[in-house]
Amino acid sequence: MTASYTTASTKPTNSGSAPTAKSTTTLKAIRQKIVLNDEDLVEKFVKGSGPGGQCINKRSSCVDLRHIPTGIRVQCQQTRSLQENRGIARKLLKEKLDDLWNGSLSKNAKKSTKIAKQKARNARRAKQKYGSSSSSSSTVDTTSNSKTQTE
């Protein structure tokens, strides 16, 4: 015995009115996730440069990290700790690879476009609120209006 089921639609039908447009699907570009493989990295520890005196001159706490497939190189000596510098260097390398591989979908690109949109929106709102300063001073002529009213 075969049972057939029909579902009743609660939405009104579109009979008698204009036909609705069919929905179109657009493919959205997907951002690639950046994964660093240890086989693709060359990590060197060198002596840092710059201010710091004897601490900088004696310790090799500067990290020189190179990604072999792309040739991107990152140096980091932000902290005194070698382990912290290794983590920071890997983070910087991930950001650079994200910019290279994902282009406009990368985090840095999205952040910069968001800031640009906010600046444009703020400028537009300020222009609407205060008006442009050069046009308001040139269009108003108060001396000619006062002479015609007194006569």
Phi, psi torsion values for 45, nearest 5 degrees: -120, 115
Question: If you search the block for the tokens 């497939």, which residue do you land on?
Answer: 69
The set of residues, in sequence order, having a beta carbon less than 8 Å from that of 61 and lying 6+ positions away, is 45, 48, 77, 79, 80, 81, 82, 85
Side by side, which strands form the sheet with 41-46?
41-46, 62-67, 73-76
What's the confidence (pLDDT) of residue 100?
Answer: 86
Domain annotation covers residue 4: no
Residue 30 has what pLDDT? 80
Contact call for residues 44 and 64 (beta carbons, < 8 A): yes
pLDDT at 14 over 90: no
Asked whether residue 48 is assigned to any structural domain, the reply reads yes
The closest alpha carbon to 85, from 76, 95, 74, belongs to 76
List the domain range (segments joined by +) for residue 98.
38-102
Among 28, 6, 18, 47, residue whose Cα is nearest residue 105: 28
Neighbouring CB atoms inside 10 A of 35's CB total 8
H/E stretch holding 67 reads strand 62-67
Q: For the chain, where are the alpha helices, taking DSSP H only?
A: 54-58, 82-102, 107-130, 133-139, 142-150
- Confirm whether 81 is domain-assigned: yes
- Whether residue 55 is contained in a domain is answered as yes
Task: Give the amino acid at 37.
Answer: N
Model confidence over 21-51: pLDDT tens digits?
565 666 667 877 888 888 999 999 998 888 8
Give the pLDDT score at 131: 83
- Residues 102-135 have pLDDT tens digits of 888 888 888 899 999 999 999 999 999 998 765 5
pLDDT of the residue at 75: 94
Is the residue at 97 inside a domain? Answer: yes
Reported pTM: 0.57
Q: Is residue 73 part of a domain?
A: yes
Whether 128 maps to a domain, the answer reads: no
Q: Is residue 56 part of a domain?
A: yes
Q: Tally the domains of the chain.
A: 1
CATH of the domain at 74: 3.30.160.20
Count the neighbouring beta carbons within 10 Å of the beta carbon of residue 43.
Answer: 12
Per-residue pLDDT reduced to its tens digit, 55-114: 787 888 899 999 999 999 999 999 988 999 999 999 999 999 988 888 888 888 888 999
